[in-house]
Structure formats: structure tokens, C-alpha cells
Structure 1
Amino acid sequence: MSSENYQQRKTFFDQLLTIYGRKPVLEALQDPGMQVYKLHLAHSNKEDGIIRELRQLAEQRGIAIEMHERKALSRISKNGKQDQGVAADLQLSAYQPCNAISADHLQAAPRRYIALDRITNPQNLGMIIRSVAASGIDGLILPRRGGAPLTALVIKASAGTLFKAPIYHCEDLDAELLRMKDDGATLCCLSSHAEHSLFDYKAQGSMVYILGNETEGVSRNLEKRCNTRLKIPMHNGVESLNVAVTAALIAFSGV
């Protein structure tokens, strides 16, 4: 295989998102606007009801169907306890590995990203994705583990914008943010004690805004990585905002 063909295949597979569960996969197959690459089914499924419907929809759309032993399917879904013997690969053109954000990319022009640290509520994640898609911010950085997975609940909360939003996935958020910092990006977290307001701050170069867990905030290790801290001015004794609201304010602050 030539290096060009290899790179094309790698890019294609990097853009695949695997969803699981009978209802989420059924909804994906029923939506003609959703690019479904492959349907995965367990041999142990009974060929009736929803399984028959899944198979029929895939065949009607010319989508490949692959059969697996139960353990093999669990490895594909990465959630054998909840996949119900069903998974599907979706092709998302804006879903990429985080290393696509190269040093050259960060230095060519000022970029703005939001990175999520252990955001576990799917409703919040979906609303954050919607704000990222709507605002035109350069991307959302998501670790594969430690936060809410990209499930049907997230898709619904995002109002379908999950398939349009620029999302960068990574295995180790700390390592990726440290790399981006070394490549010239400024890492920023929010603090009520910060000197400067989010709305007055003039960024020099590329920025990554880190938003933390709904209860605990940004982890101490990531907070130590930050070059700067900003605040959102609040009144009437209000101490904090929902993380999805905060993300929306960040996403639109530079527009």
C-alpha cells in the first residue's frame, strides 16, 4: 500500500465514531442524513423485532453488516454491558484525532479551543457541542475516557450538531494539552479570583480554555498547566454557572 493510500485510509478510520445500543443505532439508520459506515451485530441476537428492522434498514441503504461473537462485539463497542449486541460506525467528517492540531496549525493563526476535563453529564456535553458548532470556535477537545461517551443522549442534546462540530479526540488530555502548550498555545482555566475578565482579555496567539467536572471543576494537575486564569463577572451573589452555559460564553466571546 502506498503512503498516500495509507494516509487516506487512516484519515477515514480516524473519523469513525462507534455508537452502540439498539435504539441509538436504529435512530442513526433511520436518519438519511447520517453517514453510517458499518452495522455490527452479535450472532447471539434473536432475529426478530428490532434486530430484523436494523438489518432491513442497513440493507436498504447499502450499509455493510458484520456479524461477531459476543466478546468481539464488546471490544468494538467498548461497552459490552450496555451495547445490547448492536453497534454501528458513523462517519463524522469533523471528528479527528487531537494530533491533527499541529504546532504549525497553532502558530499559523490565533485559534480557540475548548477542552473538557471529566464532563460526565450527557446533557451538558450535548449542549456544549451545540455551542461549539454554532459559534465557529476552532474545536472541542475530548478525552476518550473519563467523561460522558458520545451516545444517543448526547446526540439528542446537541440537536444533531454532533455531526457538524469540529471535535478532536485524544487518549490522554493532560499529555495533549501539555503538547499544545509546548507548541505555543496558551492554556486557560476560569476562576472567580482571576484578575481579568473573559470578555476584556485580549489573547495573544492560540488559546485552549479548559472546563472541568460539574462538581469538582478542573483537576489540580491540569490547573497547574494553565498559563492564565480568567473570570466571568457575576452579580446578585451568584457564584457559578452551569458548565454548558460557561462553554457558550467562551465560544461566542471572540465572535
Structure 2
Amino acid sequence: MTDSADYKQKRAFFDNLLTIYGRKPVLEALQDSRINVYKLHLAETNKSGGIIEQILLLAEQRNIEIQWHNRQALSRISRNGKQDQGVAADIKIDQHQSVDEFIQHHNEPYRLIALDNISNPQNLGMIIRSASAGFIDGIIIPRKGCASLSPLVIKSSAGTLFKASLIHCDTLSKALQQFKHHGVSICTLSSYASDSLFDYQPAQSTIFVLGNETDGVSSEINQLSDKQLAIPMNNGVESLNVAVTAALIAFAVV
């Protein structure tokens, strides 16, 4: 059974929503007119005045829909009841898309970074910032096995999360297989590889996979790799922080 066009349209809309939480992150989003805040969620237990009053005033000035919830319902929306402070907001980000949408709209050779179990929110934020600043056309972020897009990620990305081209998928292996089906080359980094990242200039579309901070690229993803590349090291250094590696990829492969 195939999904209807109406269902696909609704799914695409909600896939492009990013839910942020916490009083200060939501307030900062409302203060930035460039950020498209779709809906504001508030807990009924919030006391009036202070930052809550500022949030409500800004939402009303921008004609943003406000929904009130009991504490349990808000926790389900924020997915972090311990830290949401009774406030969450849905952000509409047109640059966020599915694998199908990205493939459909990109024919020319492109360069992507894919994240394989990146668990540290600060690393995730810095990767997004480096990729956005460099020559990378998008970042593949799986919903399973990767750090969530939390306020800490937003802070570490220095706000670039709201304008970065993010490609969402359920699992990385399935997404990479889909890209490979369209002729995209998959590259992983290894200290044992004979070819240097800085000498690699692929003609075809290429995805560079960044592995977990401790374990590196998983065996499942390694099996999908078409090419292994190394970053030359000096002074006996064996590896770099994953966010630093992302920055090198973003500016080395032009």
C-alpha cells in the first residue's frame, strides 16, 4: 500500500518542523524575525510575568498560534520534561528535508556529510556550523542513534542550525543505500587509508561519513563505503575531534 499524496505532503511539512524548548532559546527565536516560529507551546503551570510575559507578548505581536498544555502533554512535545521549563516552540525550517526531497531537487554533483552515531550535542552543533560555513551541500542526520537537536546544539552551532541544509532520515544505513542507488559515492575516514583527504577531488556526488566520537564509523556503515581516506597526522597524533574533522572536510573538498 502506497502513501497518498495528501499524507506525503503532511509528512513533509512536519518533517520540516524543529521543536525547541527552554525559556531562553524560545525567547531568542521569537526575537529573531528571520526565524519562522510556527507554534508556541506553554505549560498551564507557568506563572505569569517575567520571561513568560515577554514570550507571550512576542508571540502575539507576530501572530503565532499559542497552545496551552498540562505538564505531561508539554513533556511529550518537548521530549525533555526535565529541561523544557514549561516552554516549547515549533520552528518551520525550509532547508530541512527528507532524503527523497534532496535527491529529487539535486542533479549536479554535491558534497554531503553524514553522521554515524554522533552522540555529543556540542560536537553536533560545531559540525553543523563548520559544514554551513564550508563547501558542503547538506548534512544527513538520522533520527535514531544521533544526538537530538537540543538547545545545546543550537548554541554550539551559533545559530546556524536554523539555516543549515539538514537531511533527515530514520536510519543512516538505509539513507546511504538510497543515495548509492543514485550513483553517489560513500567515503569514510581511516588512519590506515593510503589516500589523503586533501588529494581527493571526486567528480561525482560524494558523502563523507563521520563516525561516533569513541568507536568511529560502525561496521554496518563501513560495509557501504566505496572509498577510505586519511588525514595526515604529525607528532604521533592518532586522531582528531570529530567536529575538527568535519571542518577539514568542509574546506578541503571543493
TM-superposed CA distance for 1:181, in Å, is: 1.8
Match of 1:199, SS state, is: helix
Match of 2:30, SS state, is: helix
Which moves more between the two structures, 29-38 or 234-243? 29-38
RMSD: 2.2
| Aligned residue type for 2:24 | K
Which runs of no fewer than 5 residues in structure 1 stay unpaired? none
Match of 2:245, SS state, is: helix
| Aligned residue type for 2:83 | Q
Matched with 1:25 is: 26
1:24–1:151 contact (8 Å) kept in structure 2: no
Matched with 2:219 is: 220
Matched with 2:198 is: 199
State how far apart, in whole Å, the 1-side matches of 2:206 and 2:108 are: 11
TM-score (norm 1): 0.89
| Aligned residue type for 1:186 | S
TM-superposed CA distance for 1:10, in Å, is: 4.9
Matched with 1:91 is: 92
Matched with 1:167 is: 166
State how far apart, in whole Å, the 1-side matches of 2:98 and 2:229 are: 28
Match of 1:250, SS state, is: helix
Residues 188-238 of structure 1, C-alpha deviations (whole Å, 9 max, x = no match): 110011111111123242111110111111112111221111111111211
Matched with 1:231 is: 230
Residues 5-46 of structure 1, C-alpha deviations (whole Å, 9 max, x = no match): 877655443321111122211221222332211101122323
Residues 135-169 of structure 1, C-alpha deviations (whole Å, 9 max, x = no match): 23110011123222222222222222112211111
Residues 89-122 of structure 1, C-alpha deviations (whole Å, 9 max, x = no match): 11212111223232x656x322211001121222
1:118–1:213 contact (8 Å) kept in structure 2: yes
Mapping 1:50-199, distance limit 5 Å: 50-102=51-103, 108-199=107-198
Match of 1:169, SS state, is: strand
Which runs of no fewer than 5 residues in structure 2 stay unpaired? none
Matched with 1:42 is: 43
1:34–1:90 contact (8 Å) kept in structure 2: yes
Match of 1:214, SS state, is: coil
2:201–2:253 contact (8 Å) kept in structure 1: no
Which moves more between the two structures, 165-174 or 201-210? 201-210
Which moves more between the two structures, 142-151 or 244-253? 142-151
State how far apart, in whole Å, the 1-side matches of 2:7 and 2:209 are: 34
TM-superposed CA distance for 1:79, in Å, is: 2.3
State how far apart, in whole Å, the 1-side matches of 2:19 and 2:13 are: 13
- Runs of 4+ aligned structure 1 residues displaced above 4 Å come to 3-11
State how far apart, in whole Å, the 2-side matches of 1:115 and 1:238 are: 24
State how far apart, in whole Å, the 1-side matches of 2:51 and 2:5 are: 40
2:135–2:253 contact (8 Å) kept in structure 1: no
| Aligned residue type for 2:38 | Y
1:36–1:88 contact (8 Å) kept in structure 2: yes
Match of 2:167, SS state, is: strand
Match of 2:199, SS state, is: coil
